[in-house]
C-alpha cells in the first residue's frame, strides 16, 4: 500500500516544517480546524446546544469573538460564525455539532482545507497592517476581541484582534495565503519581520 501523502500547509514552502516559536512575530498557525456555522440567532435552544458542544457562547454582537479552551467563535454575520479549534478536533467537532443541531435549521461545514491563519504580533503590528488595510485598527476602536472582514493588500481577509501586544490573527483563503505572506514580509521588512525557516526556527 502506498504511503499517504503528507499534508502541506498553505505556507509550507515559506515557513519551517518545525513548530514555529510561540513568541514569533510572524507565523502561520497551520492545520487549525475551521468550521462555518449557520443558524438563526433567535433560536435559543440551538445556541445552547452549540454552547454545550464548544464550551463558549456564540458572539451575537457584530464584529466580536468569544474564546475559551481550544475554541474561538468569530462573528461573521447575523446568522453565521467561524469556529477555530485545534486541528485534531475537526471530525469530532463536526459530528458533535451536527448531532446537537439535528432538529434545528442549521448547518455545519468543515472549511479547514480552504483557509489558514497567519499570526502577526508585536509593536509593529498596527504599522504593518495600516499599509494595506483601510480599517482603523487602533485599540480604542478595534480592541482585543474585535474582528472584521476586510481587504488586506487587496486580498479578502478576516482580522481578529487577539490581545493588546498587539496580536492579530489574519484568516485568509488558501489561494491568497502565499501572496498575503509575501506582502506581510515585505511590509514588515524594516521591523525585521519574517516567517521562521529551517535556518531560524
3-state secondary structure of 25: coil
Can you give the pLDDT at residue 8?
A: 81
Q: Angle at the Cα of 27 (from 117 to 12), degrees rounded to 5? A: 80
Can you give the pLDDT at residue 150?
A: 98
Q: Is the pLDDT of residue 170 over 60?
A: yes
User: CA 181 to CA 26: how far, in whole Å?
Assistant: 9
Can you give the pLDDT at residue 1?
A: 56
User: CA 62 to CA 28: how far, in whole Å?
Assistant: 26
Evaluate the CA torsion angle 16, 21, 27, 29 in order and state its sign: positive
Domain range summary for the chain, segments of one domain joined by +: 26-30+114-191, 33-113
Whether the predicted model's global pTM rises above the 0.85 cut: yes
For domain 33-113, the CATH superfamily is Heterotetrameric sarcosine oxidase (3.30.70.1520)
Picking from 56-60, 88-92, 186-190, which range would have the lowest pLDDT averaged per residue? 88-92
Residue 93 main-chain phi, psi, to 5 deg: -65, -40
User: CA 116 to CA 139: how far, in whole Å?
Assistant: 24
Can you give the pLDDT at residue 200?
A: 40
Residue 69 CA to chain centroid, in angstroms? 15
- Compute the average pLDDT of residues 155-177: 97
For domain 26-30+114-191, the CATH superfamily is Probable tRNA modification gtpase trme; domain 1 (3.30.1360.120)
Amino acid at each position: 500500500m502506498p504511503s499517504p501523502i503528507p499534508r502541506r500547509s498553505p505556507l509550507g514552502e515559506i515557513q519551517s516544517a518545525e513548530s514555529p516559536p510561540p513568541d514569533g512575530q510572524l507565523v502561520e498557525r497551520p492545520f487549525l480546524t475551521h468550521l462555518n456555522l449557520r443558524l438563526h440567532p433567535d433560536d435559543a435552544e440551538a445556541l445552547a446546544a452549540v454552547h454545550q458542544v464548544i464550551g463558549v457562547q456564540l458572539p451575537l454582537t457584530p464584529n466580536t469573538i468569544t474564546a475559551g479552551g481550544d475554541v474561538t467563535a468569530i462573528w461573521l454575520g447575523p446568522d453565521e460564525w467561524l469556529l477555530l479549534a485545534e486541528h485534531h478536533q475537526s471530525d469530532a467537532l463536526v459530528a458533535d455539532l451536527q448531532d446537537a443541531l439535528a432538529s434545528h435549521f442549521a448547518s455545519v461545514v468543515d472549511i479547514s482545507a480552504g483557509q489558514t491563519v497567519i499570526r502577526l504580533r508585536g509593536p509593529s503590528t498596527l504599522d504593518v497592517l495600516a499599509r494595506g488595510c483601510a480599517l482603523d485598527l487602533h485599540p480604542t476602536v478595534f480592541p482585543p476581541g474585535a474582528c472584521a472582514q476586510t481587504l488586506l493588500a487587496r486580498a479578502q481577509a478576516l482580522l481578529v484582534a487577539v490581545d493588546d501586544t498587539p496580536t492579530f490573527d489574519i484568516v485568509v483563503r488558501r489561494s491568497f495565503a502565499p501572496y498575503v505572506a509575501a506582502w506581510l514580509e515585505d511590509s514588515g521588512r524594516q521591523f525585521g519581520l519574517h516567517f521562521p525557516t529551517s535556518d531560524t526556527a
